[in-house]
Amino acid sequence: MSRSSFASSDSARSARPLRYARVARFGPLRLKLGGRLPEVNIAYETWGRLNRARDNAILICHALSGDSHVARHTPRDDPGWWEAVVGPGKAIDPRRYYVICANTLGGCRGTTGPNSVNPKTGERYGADFPAITIADIVEVQKRLVDRLGVKVLLGVVGGSMGGHQVLEWATRHPRRVRGALAVATSPRLTMQAIAFDVVGRNAILRDPHFHGGQYYDEKSGPDVGLALARMLGHITYLSRQAMQEKFAADRLRPRDVATEFEKKFSVGSYLAYQGTRFVERFDANSYNTLSMAMDRFNLGATPAKLRARLARSRCQWLVLSFTSDWLFPPEQSREIVHALLALGRSVTYCNVQSTCGHDAFLLEENLATYGEMIRAFLARLSGSKETKPAKGDDDAYALRPTNFYHRVDYDRIARFIPRGAGVLDVGCGPGGLLWRLKRRGHSPLMGVELNEADLVTCARRGIDAVQADVNEGLGVFRDGQFDFVVLSLALQVIRNVKGVLLDAARVGRRVIVSFPNFACHRFLGMLTQNGRMPRTSGLLPFEWHNTPNIRYLTISDFDVFCRKYGFRVHQRVGLDTETGREARGDINRLADLALFVVSR
């Protein structure tokens, strides 16, 4: 098997000393579960400079096996664990931001943990190290941030267990955080995830060299147990597809690695290699301590409890998940997003298409989406100028399922909406309409979009947008949450038209819809004279076999629909998109684009 098959999120990590790490020392710390540490040291590294206003600081929170070394400081420095994201010209750029990363409490890379010396006994804590929580980890980080002179963090960023720390920061210290970036994380672990941790901890605890946790002065420690725990972890970090792509082709041709673990299969030699390398740099007691802290974390077991906890936050939110992540599955990120939407919080969400599993947030494969969304979100927090809609976004009309952008009806839709009104744009595309409304002072504004690239563009324009399929409804939004709900050129691709429109009328006081009018004389002429389905360069650019349209309605059809289902029509406009003018008279025959304002 090739060396590239052995590449993982661990590839750049080693046990070498952290040359740029500094240590801050603090006094006693009383822990949430009742324990007490007489003193706490925290190892940390920084990149960039704190500006004069002290408002450009970003705290990066690492996952279970990470440390303070998130990126290189110089070209000759060892690579960090998030080189893909942190560095000059990258999403988190130290030339612009003051970046802080600290080894967590309970860790083994310089911060007080089980391998630290207990000042009361003069010996290492070992198994006597008290149980800690994510809240304790965040408390120590807050002390460090205070020491560094930062009153408010521009952003707190973290993935996996680091995402738990982000959630804790945003809800426990809401006045200290302007933006929360929660990546590949959850309000609490699934029972399946906890089960894997239980097996990993048992592998350590039952290792004959564990010595009750006091193995530091013994000839051998629980290396086998720790390696097995890490091997198990690596299984959960990869998706099934990633496993197939890495190992299936040469499943019976493993690499010859120096190990006593089974290596008959290529995947076995990979796991053995990863487990052995992990033992070189990590401590078994720290693994148990931190995995227990992660397993205990619980932001809310029910939607109501989760909303109550998140209601404490005051920051803007970016939530990212990955489609193939089964350790922190996307539905758990959506639980966070749904709670934030119900609370009316500013939130952007994307479920990034990936085959890399949980490890995706540490790898470069999907950086064009998740990295650019992080970059755009931080730029928005720091007050950077938003990206203007490109010419194509104004003048073109491209159709994809539940994703549309166009120019011709934006101005007319904007006239329907009083200044300052809140708007939910369902199928917002790259956010052209919302960008216009934002410049007019409308608030709140929110987009719903399925297309990943369009969500990146929305983020660059400073627009809140969440990834969702409109066909699944708008149940996450409250009754009357917006003044207007817009479904612009969306009706013809929606499966459950009645359900979506009823939901839209519940969420907004008024609903604005626009759709191609298939009774237009030009469309009918194409059909009757040429015998072919209508096709134009604007509204109907597709052939019959690749069109996303599944509904072919007319203005008269929609009038009947409104009467049948109790929708009140407040305004009805027909546009001739070839001339750019409003059609007069028989708009069902003369207009190729219809706009309605309705309510119930």
Determine the Cα–Cα distance for residues 403 and 407; give it in Å rounded to an integer. Answer: 14
The verdict on whether 160 is a catalytic residue reads yes
Determine the Cα–Cα distance for residues 170 and 153; give it in Å rounded to an integer. Answer: 10
Residue 411's H or E segment, with its range, is helix 410-416
Residue 118's H or E segment, with its range, is strand 117-118
Determine the Cα–Cα distance for residues 85 and 167; give it in Å rounded to an integer. Answer: 20
> Among 48, 44, 46, 47, which residue's Cα sits nearest to residue 23?
44
Q: Pick the catalytic residue from 9, 68, 116, 160.
A: 160
Determine the Cα–Cα distance for residues 430 and 435; give it in Å rounded to an integer. Answer: 9
Determine the Cα–Cα distance for residues 465 and 427; give it in Å rounded to an integer. Answer: 10
> Among 331, 512, 548, which residue's Cα sits nearest to residue 417?
512
Determine the Cα–Cα distance for residues 558 and 560; give it in Å rounded to an integer. Answer: 5
**Residues near 331 by Cβ (< 8 Å), separated by ≥ 6?**
none
Determine the Cα–Cα distance for residues 206 and 288; give it in Å rounded to an integer. Answer: 12
The verdict on whether 186 is a catalytic residue reads no
Contact status, residue 170 vs residue 180, Cβ threshold 8 Å: yes
Contact status, residue 121 vs residue 402, Cβ threshold 8 Å: no
Determine the Cα–Cα distance for residues 213 and 225; give it in Å rounded to an integer. Answer: 12
Cα distances from 547 to residues 37, 153, 492, 543, in angstroms, run 65, 47, 10, 6
The verdict on whether 442 is a catalytic residue reads no
Determine the Cα–Cα distance for residues 230 and 240; give it in Å rounded to an integer. Answer: 18
H helices of 343-407, where? 367-381, 391-395
**Residues near 412 by Cβ (< 8 Å), separated by ≥ 6?**
573, 575, 582, 595
> Among 515, 522, 491, 492, which residue's Cα sits nearest to residue 590?
522
Q: Is the peptide bond before 75 cis (omega within 30 degrees of 0)?
A: no
> Among 205, 153, 148, 206, which residue's Cα sits nearest to residue 179?
153
Residue 268's H or E segment, with its range, is helix 266-281
**Residues near 222 by Cβ (< 8 Å), separated by ≥ 6?**
204, 207, 209, 210, 215, 284
Catalytic site residues? 160, 325, 358
